[in-house]
A and B are shown apart, each in its own frame.
Chain A
Amino acid sequence: MRHDMVLALARPEFRAMKLPVPRAAMTALASLAIFAVLLLIAGKDPLRAYHDTLIYVFGNTYGFSELLVRMTPVLLTAVAVALPARIGLINVGGEGQLYMGGWLATAGALSFPGWPAWLLLPLMTLLGFAGGAIWALLPGVLRAARLVNETISTLLLNYVAPLIVSYFIFGPWRSTESASYPESPAFVDAARLPSFGGTRVHLGLLFGLVSLALYSFVIRRTRWGLEMRAIGGNAEASARLGIPVSRYILATMAVAGGIAGIAGMAEVSAIQGRLVSGLSPGYGFTGFLVAWLAGNSALGIVVMAFLFAVVSSVGDILQITQDVPYSVVNLLMAVILFIVLSQNR
């Protein structure tokens, strides 16, 4: 009886945004056209940028592998958004959670440089998870206690986490080798996540795909998932049915933050090899938009994260060849999103 009621409350499993292929193609073309016009106004050459991007990304395996590198952290930060979204929470703090994960993982790498990789890497992954989890738990507690809305608290904490990282790399962890550029000392080899076949594609990609699979499994196939969807459907009624809503809020936020934290761990361990201040060019925010566009569906997140990797390569190319700041790519993302948002009725 109770089970039936929980079932009745539960929101449908995945509500992927219905965007048929021709329409999606039209959206992409329209966005690229609008962005091209904006670039033309700024006196840049959009067609050359698009052409260069295509050559770079699909012209050889290395360029293509960089897409996978770029989408890896986004997969993880998107799960960090999708999971809390199932119970109606809006986690916009992936960026800060990523930084805290990278920070705590670095603490592990610097504290135990003598450990073998098979011990050190799992420890760093755990620490990365813990760093992100703590950072998301704080908004979770405030929300569960009905004190502060999690949207605004996660947003604010995004600005605090990079300051903690900066404090450490300018202070206690400052490398003596590089006097001019503040960064932590380089990690020992045992603290570096392995990469594949001469590219920068690393084990973090597997973390991302496994997280997505687990997320999908938990939501679809377990009692937890059912109860979470019930809370997402109607939190008050779920509480009346005896579902521990507060505990779900805390657990969901902690796990979500932890997953974003693993993205930070993977970035410092595999890509940077040390803690740096510009750890992420907004992967946390991108993850939010990717999860949102994908309607929180696991498969949708993979597709959207890949598309965003392509979009961000346009930014890379523009920066390298035409002296346009990388962040201009946000304009292209925004145009795409505005068009999609406008269609979703």
Chain B
Amino acid sequence: MSTSFAAAVLTNSVLSGTSLLYATLGELVGERAGIVNLGLEGIMLIGASAGFAAAAVTDDPYLGVLAAGIAGTAANLLFGYVVIVRRANQLAAGLTLMFFGLGASALIGRPFVGAIVPGLPGLGMSVLGIESLGEFDLLVWLAAPVAVLLWCLIFRTSWGLGLRATGEDPTVAFASGRSPEVLRFQALALGGFLGAIGGAHLSLALALTWDEGMTAGRGFIAIALVIFARWNPLWAVPAALVFGGAEALQLQLQARGTAVSPFLMTMIPYLLTLLILVFWGWNRRSAAPASLGRSFYGVE
């Protein structure tokens, strides 16, 4: 266990955790408004493919991230129309959104399979002062500040108060002169933007390729992380780091030729998620927004 091993694991925890953190924050803001979005996986896929395609076409990774965010917002607004305006069942609509993302991303990404894109460039100092580890890109540096900003937005602004009220009891938000529908749409727009950026970080910074289904269930892990983070953006940071760490550890062990099969190692993040939910999930259930998953039918 040399220091370089530890350093590599740490660096990769941050890299893998970044994508998860954006996705977790994206889900969290929606759930704060009372909307469970099981389609986060689809949003991440759309972000990964749209970001990759836009970066390949424009030769600019930042435009790729922007395109991903816009595509994710659009897809989440479509989901919003179905669950907010048409008041469809959120779980069924969420899974439908996952299918939508699966299909749409396959269509978007197909012409760019094997394309070479400029990855997000490293910024600032080399990580931990070790040259060989490279530098973190802009999205990594911004991840934790975004979490803090989101916390301020949710807990320290009037908009956030309305958002939380909508998640707990939409009639209260309505009575205080806010529109639960508008707030939910705003939350989903923001959530779609963040979730898609999480996907784009995978294709534009980590993998530097587009591969069908490349998010491999990270969207669902992120949904579990929201529970783990107790619906608090600040807690989402360590939560994402722990899971980024699990992924980084297994990748580093694989890279160093451990005797354990890579397939068994790849299971670790999913099983760890389940394990943590067992110890954490149900006890903290009270932290969930009270109206999570319910449609708002207006007041008499």
**Interface pair B270/A160, CB less than 8 Å apart:** yes
**Interface pair B270/A151, CB less than 8 Å apart:** no
Q: Does A171 contact B (CB under 8 A)?
A: yes
> Which residues, 227 to 258 on B, are CB-close (under 8 Å) to A?
227
**Interface pair B220/A155, CB less than 8 Å apart:** yes
State how many residues of chain B have any CB contact under 8 Å with chain A.
Answer: 45
**Interface pair A327/B263, CB less than 8 Å apart:** no
**Interface pair A345/B282, CB less than 8 Å apart:** no
| Stretch of B91-99, B130-138, B178-186, B198-206 at the chain-chain interface | B91-99
Main secondary structure of the interface of A (DSSP, over half): helix
- Annotate A148-163 by CB proximity to B: 1 below 8 A, 0 otherwise: 1101110111111001
Q: A156-B217, A325-B106 are in contact. Are A167 and B270 (CB under 8 A)?
A: no
Q: Does A341 contact B (CB under 8 A)?
A: yes
| Stretch of B80-88, B148-156, B159-167 at the chain-chain interface | B80-88
Q: A152-B223, A152-B277, A325-B212 are in contact. Are A338 and B96 (CB under 8 A)?
A: yes
Q: What is the bound-complex CA distance between A39 and B100, given in angstroms? A: 14
Q: Does B274 contact A (CB under 8 A)?
A: yes
Q: Does B118 contact A (CB under 8 A)?
A: no
Partner of B278, one of A148, A285, A344: A148
Partner of A156, one of B78, B102, B110, B221: B221
A160 to chain B, nearest CB (A): 5
A79 to chain B, nearest CB (A): 18
> Which residues, 149 to 186 on A, are CB-close (under 8 Å) to B?
149, 151-153, 155-160, 163-164, 166-167, 170-171
> Quick one: closest A residue to B213, CB to CB?
A327
**Interface pair A42/B107, CB less than 8 Å apart:** yes
Q: Does A92 contact B (CB under 8 A)?
A: yes
Partner of A330, one of B86, B87, B103, B277: B103
**Interface pair A288/B95, CB less than 8 Å apart:** yes
Q: A152-B277, A164-B263 are in contact. Are A285 and B95 (CB under 8 A)?
A: yes
Q: A148-B274, A159-B216, A334-B103 are in contact. Are A341 and B263 (CB under 8 A)?
A: no
Q: Does A147 contact B (CB under 8 A)?
A: yes
Q: Does B119 contact A (CB under 8 A)?
A: no
Q: Does A324 contact B (CB under 8 A)?
A: yes
**Interface pair A163/B103, CB less than 8 Å apart:** no
5 closest Cβ pairs, A-B complex: A331-B103, A330-B103, A334-B100, A341-B88, A167-B263
Further 16 A-B residue pairs, CB within 8 A, beyond A328-B110, A330-B99: A142-B278, A148-B274, A148-B278, A155-B220, A156-B270, A159-B217, A289-B96, A289-B99, A327-B106, A327-B212, A330-B103, A334-B100, A338-B96, A341-B88, A341-B96, A345-B86
